């Protein structure tokens, strides 16, 4: 094992880091300012950038939630509950059944507590009744989950972990503002997928929601390497997908979106990026892979598998050197005859995916076409005619599980 990790080890490492930060004041920018990182964490978890304009005024999701989305329904479409935001009385009430998880009123109460990961609600008294009047979404909706420590779907936040249980399409499809055709596209996506270009190019080709961790040291952002830094894509999503107030323009794709006359995005981008850069890929759980087989698999990865020719360097990507044409990847053609994801992007190419924490987030490839790491390796073996034996394939899979 390369790492020895426990809560205590992490805490002392963090203490050592902050001591180092005090001592390195002469190298500005080398260590992130803890106050800026803390601000970025708040933004990542709780900032809607004013996107209530979209989710409330246009999509009217507040009406749907208050009328029909009880907590059991919310959990069934993959929404997560932050157990640390629940006061003891609520925890007891959920445990002893006195809080009704089949009532939409409970969802509204949870929103009032800021306990639904990635959703922000405003509750006001209207005609004597507590009413959900505004709702918006945050980055955490798709890029955080919880550790299930309280119950399935209820636990401590894990920022940066993709929510592969979330069915964003099914949630948006609840909006009464959509026509039947648009609703059927959203309903077709399924769990863990979202198409962040559909509303701009009209093509229905959903992407797997990727992790937002492990990006420090990765030179290009998104599957297609559209941005040189995370903030490029953060602005894209905040404005063009979440509906935040501000603007996004990219001459390469012609995407030119402005929401509102104010800008609630730009000033938030530096802190948001600083926080994201602190999110490390999670190490594999103890005992989750065969150490001896993984050591043999490393030799396959670097030798006959030819994986290291692209998955190179500490983050297992050559993104600082090159991007790859679609003909290089084994994940195309897209399922269902959908146009190439690369063709819809700014670069028209693919970034070699960084592999740290890969154990954590099946399915694999931008379109989720490989369900498991075994399927990934089988696909490379067949499509690239590598001629790996069954034993080499098995070892390579164990190595991937160890990253
Ligand atoms: C509705 C779901 C959703 C929301 C909300 C969302 N994202 Fe994403 N995010 C995605 C999808 C899907 C992709 C994959 C796009 C791609 O790689 O082309 C992505 C990609 C990314 C990436 C690129 C990761 C990489 O490997 O390079 C980052 C960083 C990111 N999102 C951060 C954010 C931030 C910050 C926010 C809030 C401003 C946000 N996202 C909101 C779905 C979402
Ligand atoms: C020609 C360059 C190249 C080679 C060689 C290569 N890869 Fe990849 N790899 C990529 C690119 C580009 C992607 C992103 C493709 C996508 O998302 O569809 C990728 C994606 C992956 C993923 C999925 C990552 C994710 O987040 O879903 C895994 C796992 C992977 N490669 C493992 C391997 C292994 C194992 C080998 C050797 C057998 C290998 N790769 C060889 C370029 C390469």
71-130 pLDDT, tens digit each: 999 999 999 999 999 999 999 999 999 999 999 999 999 999 999 999 999 999 999 988
- State the number of CA atoms in the 13 A half-sphere of 164 facing the CB: 13
88 burial via Cβ count (<10 Å: 0-12, 13-18, 19+): exposed
Q: Give the model confidence (pLDDT) of 187-233 as tens digits.
A: 999 999 999 999 999 999 999 999 999 999 999 999 999 999 999 99
Read off the pLDDT of residues 309-356 as tens digits, 9 standing for 90 and up. 999 999 999 999 999 999 999 999 999 899 999 999 999 999 999 999
Please count the other Cβ atoms lying within 10 Å of the Cβ belonging to residue 285: 10
Task: Say if ligand 2 is within 6 A of residue 341 CB.
Answer: no
Residue bearing the bigger pLDDT, 117 or 21: 117
From atom 42 of ligand 1, which residue's Cα is the shortest distance away?
A: 209
Distance between CA 2 and CA 293 in Å, rounded?
15
CA of 97 to the centre of ligand 1 (A): 36
Give dist(CA 130, CA 128) in Å, integer.
Answer: 7
> 210: CA distance to ligand 1 center in Å?
7
pTM for the full predicted model: 0.91
Taking every pair of Cα atoms in the chain, the longest distance, rounded to a whole number of angstroms, is 72
132 lines ligand 1 (CB under 6 A): no
Q: Is the CB of 360 under 6 A from ligand 2?
A: no
Atom 1, ligand 2: residue with shortest CA distance: 328
Q: Which atom of ligand 2 is nearest to the CA of 396?
A: 35
Residue 209 Cβ contacting ligand 1 at under 6 Å? yes
Distance between Cα 241 and ligand 2 center (Å): 27
Which residues are CB-contacts of 272 (< 8 A; sequence separation ≥ 6)? Answer: 40, 43, 44, 47, 139, 231, 234
135 CA to centre of own chain: 20
Measured between alpha carbons, how far is 268 from 179 in angstroms, rounded to an integer? 34
Q: Which residues pair with 126 in a beta bridge?
A: 129
Which single residue is written with the structure tokens 């067949």? 382
Q: What would the two tokens of residue 384 be? A: 């690239």
Average pLDDT, the chain: 92
pLDDT at 13: 39
Of the candidates 138, 192, 137, 194, the residue with the CA atom closest to the CA atom of residue 165: 192
Q: Report which bound ligand comes closest to the CA of 340.
A: 2
**Ligand 1 site, residue 238, Cβ cutoff 6 A:** yes
The reply to whether omega before 333 is within 30° of 0 (cis) is: yes
Return the ligand number nearest the Cα of 192: 1
Mutate to test the pocket of ligand 1, among 40, 119, 120, 142 (most ligand atoms within 8 A of CB): 142
For the purposes of burial, counting CB atoms within 10 Å of the CB of 250, is it exposed (0-12), middle (13-18) or buried (19 or more)?
Answer: middle
């Amino acid at each position: 094992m390369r790492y020895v990790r426990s809560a205590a080890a992490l805490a002392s490492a963090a203490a050592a880091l902050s001591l180092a930060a005090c001592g390195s004041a002469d190298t500005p920018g080398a260590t992130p300012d803890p106050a800026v990182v803390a601000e970025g964490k708040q933004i990542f978890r709780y900032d809607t950038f004013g996107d209530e304009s979209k989710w409330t005024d246009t999509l009217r999701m507040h009406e749907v939630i208050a009328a029909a989305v009880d907590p059991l329904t919310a959990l069934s479409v993959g929404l997560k509950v932050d157990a640390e935001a629940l006061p003891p009385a609520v925890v007891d009430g959920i445990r002893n059944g006195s809080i009704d998880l089949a009532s939409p009123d409970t969802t509204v109460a949870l929103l009032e507590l800021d306990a639904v990961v990635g959703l922000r609600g405003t509750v006001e008294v209207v005609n004597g009744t507590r009413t959900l009047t505004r709702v918006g979404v945050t980055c955490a909706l798709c890029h955080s989950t919880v550790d299930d420590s309280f119950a399935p779907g209820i636990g401590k936040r894990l920022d940066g972990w993709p929510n592969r249980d979330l069915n964003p399409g099914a949630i948006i499809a609840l909006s009464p503002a959509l026509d039947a055709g648009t609703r059927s596209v959203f309903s077709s996506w399924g769990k863990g997928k979202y198409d962040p270009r559909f509303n701009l190019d009209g093509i229905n080709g959903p992407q797997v929601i990727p992790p937002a961790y492990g990006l420090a040291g990765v030179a290009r952002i998104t599957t297609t390497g559209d941005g040189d830094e995370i903030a490029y894509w953060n602005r894209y999503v905040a404005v063009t997908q979440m509906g935040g107030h501000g603007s996004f323009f990219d001459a390469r794709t012609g995407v030119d979106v402005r929401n509102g006359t104010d800008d609630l995005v730009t000033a938030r981008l530096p802190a948001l990026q600083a926080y994201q850069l602190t999110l490390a890929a999670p190490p594999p759980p103890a005992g989750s892979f065969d150490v001896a087989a993984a050591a043999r698999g490393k030799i396959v990865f670097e030798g006959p598998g030819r994986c290291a020719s692209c998955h190179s360097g500490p983050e297992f990507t050559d993104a600082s050197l090159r991007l790859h044409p679609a003909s290089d990847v084994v994940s195309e053609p897209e399922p269902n005859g959908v146009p190439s994801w690369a063709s819809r992007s700014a670069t028209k190419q693919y970034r070699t995916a960084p592999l740290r924490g890969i154990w954590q987030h099946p399915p694999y490839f931008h379109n989720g076409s490989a369900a498991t790491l075994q399927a990934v390796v089988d696909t490379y073996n067949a499509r690239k005619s590598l001629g790996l034996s069954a034993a080499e394939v098995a070892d390579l899979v164990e190595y991937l599980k160890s990253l």
